[in-house]
Structure 1
Amino acid sequence: MAKFVCAFLLILAMAFVIQVTHAGGEGSLRPEQCSGECNRRCSQTMYKNRCLEFCNLCCAKCLCVPSGFYGHKEECPCYNNWKTNGGKPKCP
């Protein structure tokens, strides 16, 4: 029985670590955090104003901004899958 309890606690701890590691996923932000996260995401682009405009729009809808300055969109499916009328990615 003690082994079962130890195994259960270990699994529970691992699940918590995995959840914390993947923080930043879809729905993880509050609306007031979007501006700061978009400033971070768009800080290295030469099209900063346009990036910020669309990033903030996407964040307001998805409550998520992918990590890094480019890519990693798989972290936020809503952010990744939102397309323009022409079928191109809407979110930077």
Structure 2
Amino acid sequence: MNLYTVIFEFMGGTYCSQNYSANEEKALLNALKENIENKELIDFKEDLLNEFNFWVEEIGVSPLDGLVNIWYFSFSYEDESYHCHIIKTVNL
């Protein structure tokens, strides 16, 4: 397990969290699951979380060219864009 920092942007806001996960994709999904009850993230309904999960499994996250331990993931849902950066913060 490694410590990951996840930064995600949607609807004009930027949200950050950290969690220990087995890989960058699980770190992204864990961050969303941990924050789904946060009142500022009320728009992360279960169906949106399921959609995130589907697209992460379907296309995966992309490493940023020329950088190490930083990935990017984005998609659109109901006319909104969602952008996520995943950074391996501590290598254990």
Compare relative contact order (CA 8 Å, sep 6+) and give the higher one, 1 or 2: 2
Calculate the TM-score normalised by the size of structure 1. Answer: 0.34
Q: Which structure has the larger Rg over C-alpha atoms?
A: 1
Greater helix share, 1 or 2? 1
Greater strand share, 1 or 2? 2
